[in-house]
Amino acid sequence: MQEADDKTIEEIFKLTKKMMLALKKGLKCDYVQVGIVGNEIPHFHIHLIPRYNGDNFKNLPTREYKELEAEKTINKIIKAI
C-alpha cells in the first residue's frame, strides 16, 4: 500500500465502499468488517467480511462453500452492485 500512488489508493477505497454496500444489500448483513492485509501475500489487499449482529465471529472464516453456495452468493452480490 505504501508503494501505491495516492490516486490508486483513492480509487481502491472508492471501490471498497461500493463493494461493502453491495455486500450489505445482497447478503442482508448488518455490517461489513474491513481488514487491510499484506503479510501473508506480498501485496496489499482488502478483506471484506459480511457480519451479522450476534454472530460471535472472531477470526477469518475457514469453512468451505457447499455445492453451488458460492455461485449463489456471488450472484446476490452482483445483483446488488
Grid coordinates belonging to 27: 447478503
- Looking at 1-81, list the stretches that DSSP marks H as alpha helix, in order from N- to C-terminal side: 6-27, 69-80
User: Structural domains in the chain?
Assistant: 6-80 (3.30.428.10)
Q: Are 30 and 55 in contact (CB under 8 A)?
A: no
Report the share of the chain in percent with pLDDT over 70: 95
| Residue 57 pLDDT greater than 90, yes or no | no
Confidence of residue 42 (pLDDT cuts 50, 70, 90): confident
Beta strands in the chain (DSSP E): 31-37, 45-51
Q: Are 81 and 48 in contact (CB under 8 A)?
A: no
| Residue 74 pLDDT greater than 80, yes or no | yes
- What is residue 3's predicted lDDT score, i.e. its pLDDT? 84
- What is residue 78's predicted lDDT score, i.e. its pLDDT? 93
- Total-model pTM: 0.80
